Chain A
Amino acid sequence: MSWIDNLLANPAITEALGPAALETAQMVGIASIATVALGLPLGVAMVVTARGGLAENRAVSAVLSGVIVNITRSIPYAILMLALIPVTKALVGTSIGPIAASVSLTVAAVPFFARLVETSLREVAPGKVDAANAMGSTRRQIVTRVLLPEALPSLIAGVTTTVVTIVGYSAMAGLVGGGGLGRLAYNYGYQRYQPEVMIAVLVVLVLLVQAVQALGDALARRADHR
């Protein structure tokens, strides 16, 4: 059982794996919360200002959907995180560490999530909006009391997908100073060629993604009354 001995004797696993996992959890957590906080209103704004929307506005719609979302989404994350280093420095004072990494993670994930929000809200049957209008709802009431609650199961599924995507990006962010599991796998698993570290990181990542997905599915099921 030499590989188990290897595993337990390797400080990269016994001492570094725990903190690295926490760093990953930290950057994913911060980025996820920031993404929902920014992406939800952006997605709502895209739906509301779209053609035939509650507050149709072609100019705003073109800027939101065409410029912000499409441009950001067309930049590969590996390039985006490097390009954002000056912005990150200005924002959090450093470009190193999990908190700095959450800046680029958020910038990459917000447009992605906003598109998912847009799709979810569009799936709400137009008849429900008609009914809400016919009963004298304000536009704000239609968004907060009809569109968002009716789309909730789908929105939760969107958050789950987004968090899983952020976990994936976080490994890349680790390579350029973000820390976390990505850096551990790269430094020890790849550069020092310690396969047991690589495997340990993979196991932790798979468990993390499974946990996120299971939690997301359970919450979506609970919210779904259809």
Chain B
Amino acid sequence: MISVTHLAKVYSQAGRDIHALAGVSLEVPAGSVHGVIGPSGAGKSTLVRCLALLDRPTSGTVEIDGVDLASVPAGELRKARRRLGVVFQHANLFDSRTVLDNVAYPLEIAGVSRRERRARALELLGLVGLSEAAGAHPAQLSGGQRQRVGIARALATDPDVLLCDEPTSALDPRTTDEILDLIASLKQRLGLAVLVITHEMHVVKRICDTVSLLEAGAIVESGPLADVVAAFGSRLSTSLLALPGDLEDGDVDALDALGTSAPGHGTRGSALDAATRELGAAPRIVAGTVETLGGVTFHRLRLVAPPGTSPARLVDALTTHGAQAQEVTR
């Protein structure tokens, strides 16, 4: 488990203080994935560098199973780091080493015997599905394979926490899903606390149990995935359930609605059905998205009230039947 409290980083640039991180707190229990999402410039890179202790935070703590990495002296920090594996966007493998020797590197510097580290590295390569590539050099691998090696290397010292910095941002969509599924399965099998820093909503949707929105160095929204999405109108809810396409300009009477249903049922049996029966006519759906997130199927719809009713009546009907709705203000 990793627990971060009031993490702050102040840079001084051209005589001015820049608050890159203004007191970030979060907690990731073992066996779960927490996503920190944010636009560029929000402080994601600084957060990663502070969490990985590549930069010393100005204040705050980064505790892994009760040991605060931010306050251990430099000499002990090297040892303490073994409890934290870091996966980088571009894998950052060593080109001069074979895949096996890359994975064995953390053990090599920890003084593990050659035979032992070879066995452990092979075992890790098996875990990420790359046993046959042990003797290859990183340049011979695809981006996805390199990231698998990066993950295996991060796990070499048997860490409790895996910190992933934009792990799939350099990968194509299919490889992205393979890597994300690998991270999710490793979390399960090894009981890891995984912290993923990303700008991709897709990453959050696919593997995160909990999520935080980072903005201007601070966490502005945070919680379990389903709760965050259910917070109608919140930034994360709107981004995670983004509506496709441009909306027609003429629909000034449109309203936004957020409903839920049991997974696998689409919008069947939802507040929309009930509201349609109540009004005697179906609202027109301008745009909509249906997604199952955190075990709940959410539908976010942009609706126009049927003729003879009013947007206000439709909002009422929807809210009475358990959905959340409000008129769109432009």
Residues of B with C-beta under 8 A to A145 = 105, 108-109
How many of chain A's residues touch chain B, expressed as a range?
20 to 34
Residue B92 CB within 8 A of the other chain: yes
Q: Is A136 within 8 A of B78, CB to CB?
A: yes
Residue A134 CB within 8 A of the other chain: yes
Q: Is A225 within 8 A of B88, CB to CB?
A: no
A124 to chain B, nearest CB (A): 9
Q: Is A135 within 8 A of B88, CB to CB?
A: no
Binary contact track B65-92/A, C-beta < 8 Å → 1, others 0? 0000000000001110110101010101
Q: Is A135 within 8 A of B92, CB to CB?
A: no
Nearest neighbor of B77 in chain A, beta-carbon distance: A136
Residue A131 CB within 8 A of the other chain: yes
Describe A's contact surface by its main secondary structure.
Answer: helix
Residue B110 CB within 8 A of the other chain: yes
**Which chain A residues numbered 115 to 134 have a C-beta less than 8 Å away from chain B?**
125, 127-128, 130-134
Binary contact track A196-226/B, C-beta < 8 Å → 1, others 0? 0000000000000000000000000001011
Asked whether A130 and B110 contact (CB < 8 A) given A149-B97, A225-B95, the answer is: no
Asked whether A134 and B95 contact (CB < 8 A) given A145-B105, A225-B137, A226-B139, the answer is: no
Binary contact track B137-153/A, C-beta < 8 Å → 1, others 0? 11100000000000001
- Highest count of chain B CB atoms <10 Å: which of A145, A149, A225: A225
Residue A152 CB within 8 A of the other chain: yes
Residue pairs across A and B with CB atoms within 8 Å: the count is 65
Nearest neighbor of B90 in chain A, beta-carbon distance: A127
Asked whether A134 and B139 contact (CB < 8 A) given A141-B109, A150-B96, the answer is: no
Asked whether A150 and B78 contact (CB < 8 A) given A134-B54, A136-B110, A138-B109, the answer is: no
Q: Within the complex, which residue of A133, A134, A138, A150 is in contact with B94, where a contact is CB–CB below 8 Å?
A: A150
Residues of B with C-beta under 8 A to A130 = 52, 54, 88, 92
Residues of A with C-beta under 8 A to B86 = 131, 134-135
Residue A57 CB within 8 A of the other chain: no
CA distance A183 to B264 in the complex (A): 91
Asked whether A135 and B109 contact (CB < 8 A) given A127-B88, A150-B96, A225-B95, the answer is: yes
Nearest neighbor of A134 in chain B, beta-carbon distance: B86
Residue B106 CB within 8 A of the other chain: yes
Q: Is B94 within 8 A of A136, CB to CB?
A: no
Apart from A130-B54, A134-B86, A136-B109, 19 more pairs, CB < 8 Å: A127-B88, A127-B90, A130-B52, A131-B93, A131-B94, A132-B105, A135-B81, A135-B106, A136-B78, A136-B79, A136-B106, A137-B109, A138-B109, A145-B108, A145-B109, A150-B96, A152-B96, A225-B137, A226-B139
